[in-house]
Structure 1
Amino acid sequence: MTATDRTPALIHETVLLHETVAGVLGVSDLSGVSLQAGVYVDATFGRGGHSRLLLDYLTADSTLIVFDKDPQAIVVADELAKTDSRVVVVHDSFASLNESLAKLGMSQVDGIMADLGVSSPQLDDGARGFSFMKDGVVDMRMDTSRGQSVGQWLKVVDEETLANVLYDYGEERHSRRIARAIKAMENYDSTLELAETIKEAHPAWQKGKHPATQSFQAMRIFINNELGDVKDFLNQTLTALKSGGQLAIISFHSLEDRIIKQFLNNHSKGRHEGDDKLPIPPKRPKYFDKPYRIAPSDDEVRANVRARSAYLRGARRNQTAFESFN
Structure 2
Amino acid sequence: MFHLPVMVKEVIDYLYHGDGIYLDCTAGGGGHLSHLLAKLDRGRIVAIDQDPDAIQYLRGRFQDPRLTIVHGNFSNLSRLSKRLGIEGYDGILFDLGLSRHQIETSGRGFSFERDGPLDMRMDPSLPLTARDLIRRSTRRELSAIIRSFGEDPRSGVLARIIWQNRKRIETTFDLRRLIEQTTLRRYRKKTLHRVFQAFRIAVNHELDNLKIGLDSAYQLLNREGRIVCISYHSLEDRIVKRRFKSWPGFETLTPKPVRPTEEEKEENPSSRSARLRAGRRL
Please say whether Structure 1 and Structure 2 have the same fold, judged by a TM-score greater than 0.5.
yes
The whole-number CA distance in structure 2 between the counterparts of 1:156 and 1:296 is 40
C-alpha distance in 2 between matches for 1:152 and 1:194:
13
Contact 1:264 1:291 in 2 (8 A): no
Matching residue of 2:81: 101
In structure 1, which of residues 282, 303, 314 is the aligned counterpart of residue 267 of structure 2?
303
CA RMSD of aligned residues (A): 1.5
Q: 2:250 aligns with which of 288, 299, 302?
A: 288
What is the SS of the residue equivalent to 1:182?
helix
Residue 191 in structure 1 maps to residue 172 in structure 2: yes
* Deviation of the 1:204 alpha carbon: 7.6
Give the superposition deviation at 1:126: 2.5
Q: Which has the higher contact order (CA 8 A, sep 6+)?
A: 2
Among residues 32, 53, 59, which one is paired with 1:50 in the alignment? 32
Shifted more, 249-258 versus 286-295: the winner is 286-295
Please point out which of 65, 70, 82 is paired with 1:90.
70
Please give the alpha-carbon distance, in whole angstroms, between the structure 1 residues aligned to 2:203 and 2:186: 25
Structure 2 residue corresponding to 1:77, chosen from 50, 58, 64: 58
Kindly state the Cα deviation for residue 255 of structure 1 after the two structures are TM-superposed: 0.2
**How far, CA to CA, are the matches of 1:258 and 1:68 in structure 2?**
23
The answer on whether the counterparts of 1:238 and 1:287 sit within 8 Å (CA) in structure 2 is no
Q: Note if 1:144 corresponds to 2:124.
A: yes
Structure (1/2) with the larger helix percentage = 2
State the AA in 1 paired with 2:274: A
Q: Among all aligned residue pairs of Structure 1 and Structure 2, give the percentage whose two residues are the same amino acid.
A: 33
> How far apart are the structure 1 equivalents of 2:37 and 2:274?
23
Q: CA deviation at 1:314?
A: 0.6
- How do residues 2-151 of structure 1 correspond to structure 2 at under 5 angstroms? 2-3=1-2, 12-26=3-17, 36-59=18-41, 61-81=42-62, 83-151=63-131
1:139–1:150 Cα contact (<8 Å) kept:
yes
The residue that corresponds to 2:216 in the other structure is 236
CA change 1:202–1:298 in 2 (3 A) is same
Separation in 2 of the partners of 1:118 and 1:140?
11
CA deviation profile, 1:126-164 (whole Å, cap 9, x unmatched): 211000001010000000133211011111111110110
- The corresponding residue for 1:317 is 281
Q: Is the 8 A contact 2:149 2:235 kept in 1?
A: yes
Secondary structure (helix, strand or coil) at the match of 1:212 reads helix
Partner of 2:201: 221
| 1:246 positional shift | 0.7
| Inter-partner Cα distance in structure 2 for 1:290 and 1:217 | 28
CA displacement at 1:177 relative to structure 2? 0.8
Task: Show the counterpart of 1:249.
Answer: 229
Deviation at 1:287, TM superposition (A): 2.0
**Counterpart for residue 274 of structure 1:** none
Divergent runs of 4+, >6 A: none
Return the index of the structure with the highest Cα Rg: 1
| Aligned counterparts, 1:264-279, within 5 A | 264-267=244-247
Structure 2 distance, partners of 1:45, 1:187, is: 36
- The gaps in structure 2 that reach 5 residues or longer are none
Amino acid at match of 1:193: D
| Distance apart, 1:203 and its partner CA | 4.9
Measured against aligned partners, the alpha-carbon deviations of 1:221-262 in whole angstroms (never above 9, x if no partner) come to: 011000001100111122211000011010000000011011
Displacement of 1:190 after TM fit?
A: 1.4
8 Å contact 2:116–2:172 — kept in the other structure? yes
- Taking structure 2 as the reference length, the TM-score comes to 0.95
Q: Indicate yes or no: 2:143 matched with 1:179.
A: no
> Partner letter of residue 52 of structure 1?
S
The letter for the 1-side match of 2:22 is Y
CA distance in 2, matches of 1:290, 1:190: 43
When the two structures are aligned, how many residues end up with a matched partner? 279
Kindly indicate whether the alpha-carbon contact (under 8 Å) linking 2:251 and 2:281 is maintained by their aligned counterparts in 1.
Answer: yes
Preserved contact between residue 257 and residue 311 of structure 1 (Cα < 8 Å):
yes
Gaps (5+ residues) in structure 1? 4-11, 27-35, 268-285, 319-326
Cα deviation 1:253-296 (Å, max 9, x = unaligned): 000001101111233xxxxxxxxxxxxxxxxxx32123313110
